[in-house]
Amino acid sequence: MSRLTSPDPERWLHLRLVIGVGITQIIGFGTMFYAFGSVVPALSDELGITPGTAFAAFSAALLIGALAAPTAGRLVDRQGARVVMATGSVLAALSLTALSQAQGLVSLVLALFAMEVTATLILYDAAFAALAQGLGPARARRAITQMTLLGGFASTVFWPLTQAIQVWADWRTAYLVFAALNLCICFPLHLTLTRAPDLAPVAGARPAAPLQFAPLPAEQHRRAMIWVGTAFAVAGLVFSALSASWVTTLTAFGLPAAAAVTAGTLMGPAQVGVRVLDMLFGLRLHPLTTTMISTLLLMLALAVLWLTGPTLAGAMIFAVLFGLAQGLTSIVRGTVPLVLFGAQGFAARLGRLASIRMVMAAIAPFGIALLIDRWSASAALLAMLCLAALGAMALKMIPR
């Protein structure tokens, strides 16, 4: 009877943090990233700018957010995820409201800049740190995998939701609704975040779990950070380049647009599926091993597309392999730094790594478009394959 009336406080905390933070990631990514592409046609028409200009403003905002990421990480370490992410929810509501009231290019740019700087306070890297602070480094790895599984549904929820609101009202109303979601749902959830030491007085709580893998000694941190940063930056560049220009790249390679879209629909299920597999079977692997698997899958995906040419079957295999690799990458962004360096300064390290990765991701779509324009889609894919191989070599240089 006592087992029925007194649930394990540790398991309850784990469940509460994973679900709560997962919900905030669905809302955060949905409102501050995925929705923008859906509103661009109506937004640009009303503001008297071209869609290309709107996307250029959004890309510039992503770069500004990349520069702000290290500062956000230091704030999370110093003030705690509860304070930073709760404050970020309020600022997100304000920036989304400002975006809903944009009257021209200048006000649009300012609102987007504010939105993407605020995003560094509430999205994945801050969320990874929140789980590490709430559960401790030994138990955070499983929680990060589970949380990213939930976060992967952001586009599934917010693409149709954004379209539905625009049919019912307009893009300005959509952003007002998004502001309300951040304020009324994410803000209270972020206030419930806690730190692992808070568990000490809880009756029935077990002592901290031993670390599965020992962190690196301090004298190896600098070298490891350089190679981790290189591997993550290269992967971010390749994933961003192909994700942002999926249809453009495949059509330039000779595939009909309809076939490119059909193949692309396989990417999402592959991402979710591999995260489930990692949650069930991958936690016994060192995160660097998981990262190498992701990189090899990416290399295999690029090689398949490059060798099979403009065929639907080849594009579909490419999409599945690419989705598998991308699904694992979202997880190892949090687990590799946690396992290699420990919880001390975790958020600050995530911020530095995110800054490098986000800068590369912001310039990647332009880079692959330039390669396709100057040479060919085949040359662009070969360049991406070489970059992925560079990432694999960087991973081999990381000490254990």
pLDDT at residue 203, as a whole number: 41
In a domain, 273, yes or no: yes
Segment of 97-111, 230-244, 266-280 carrying the highest mean pLDDT: 97-111
**Same domain? 228 vs 149:** no
Cα 58 to its chain centre, rounded Å, is 17
Residue 209 dihedral angles phi and psi, to the nearest 5°: -70, 145
Residues 231 and 139 both lie in one domain = no
Helix 312-341 and helix 124-135, axial crossing angle in degrees, nearest 10: 40
How many CB atoms within 10 Å of residue 218?
10
Looking at 49-63, 262-276, 306-320, which range is the least confident one?
262-276
Q: Is the pLDDT of residue 51 over 60?
A: yes
**Whether residue 236 is found in the same domain as residue 157:** no
Whole-number Å distance between alpha carbons of 170 and 203: 51
189 contact partners, CB below 8 Å, separation of at least 6:
20, 21, 23, 24
Higher pLDDT, 258 or 180: 180
User: Is there a contact between 227 and 395 (Cβ–Cβ < 8 Å)?
Assistant: yes
Q: Quick one: CA torsion of 253, 257, 259, 264, rounded to 10 degrees?
A: 90
At 212 the pLDDT is: 67
Same domain, 137 and 256: no
Is 206 contained in some domain?
no
Q: Let me know if residue 106 belongs to a domain.
A: yes
- CATH number, domain containing residue 345: 1.20.1250.20
Q: Is residue 237 part of a domain?
A: yes
Would you say residue 109 lies in a domain?
yes
Which residue, 154, 169, 199, sits at the end of a domain?
199
Number of structural domains found in the chain: 2
Residues 345 and 224 in one domain: yes
Task: Convert the pLDDT of each residue in 177-203 to its tens digit.
Answer: 999 999 999 999 999 998 765 444 344
If asked whether residues 259 and 138 sit together in one domain, one would say: no
Residue 224 has pLDDT above 80, yes or no: yes
Same domain, 54 and 84: yes
The confidence score (pLDDT) of residue 94 equals: 97
Shared domain check, 226 and 82: no
In a domain, 209, yes or no: no
Give the domain extent around 181. 2-199
Q: Tell whether 14 is covered by a domain.
A: yes
Predicted confidence (pLDDT) per residue in 68-93, tens digit: 989 998 999 888 899 999 999 999 99
Residue 337 has pLDDT above 50, yes or no: yes
Q: Which of 148, 166, 199 is the last residue of a domain?
A: 199
Same domain? For 35 and 184 the reply is yes
Q: Which of 125, 65, 381 lies closest to 238 in space, CA to CA?
A: 381
Q: What single letter denotes the amino acid at residue 299?
A: M
When pLDDT is cut at 50, 70 and 90, the band that residue 209 belongs to is low
Tell me what pLDDT residue 197 has: 52
- Secondary structure element (H or E) that encloses residue 44, with its range: helix 35-47
Dist. CA 357–CA 229, nearest whole Å: 8
242 with 137, same domain: the answer is: no
pLDDT band for position 108 (cuts 50, 70, 90): very high
Please report whether residue 329 resides in a domain.
yes
Identify whether residues 121 and 241 lie together within a single domain: no
In this prediction, residue 8 carries a pLDDT of 62
Q: Taking 70 as the threshold, does the pLDDT of residue 318 lie above it?
A: yes
Question: In the predicted model, what is the mean pLDDT of the chain?
Answer: 84
Task: Note the pLDDT of residue 196.
Answer: 60
Convert the pLDDT of each residue in 114-153 to its tens digit.
Answer: 999 999 999 988 998 899 888 887 788 888 888 888 887 7
Structure tokens at 390: 């560079």
Higher pLDDT among residues 375 and 123, named by residue: 123
278 with 360, same domain: the answer is yes
Q: Judge contact between 167 and 154, C-beta under 8 A.
A: no
Retrieve residue 146's tokens: 């589970």
Contact (CB, 8 A) for 95 and 115: yes
What would you report as the CA-atom Rg of the chain, rounded to the nearest whole angstrom?
21
Q: What is the pLDDT of residue 54?
A: 86
Q: Whole-angstrom Cα distance, residue 331 to residue 338?
A: 11
Question: Worst-scoring range by mean pLDDT, 42-46, 245-249, 300-304?
Answer: 245-249
Cβ(163)–Cβ(36) below 8 Å: no
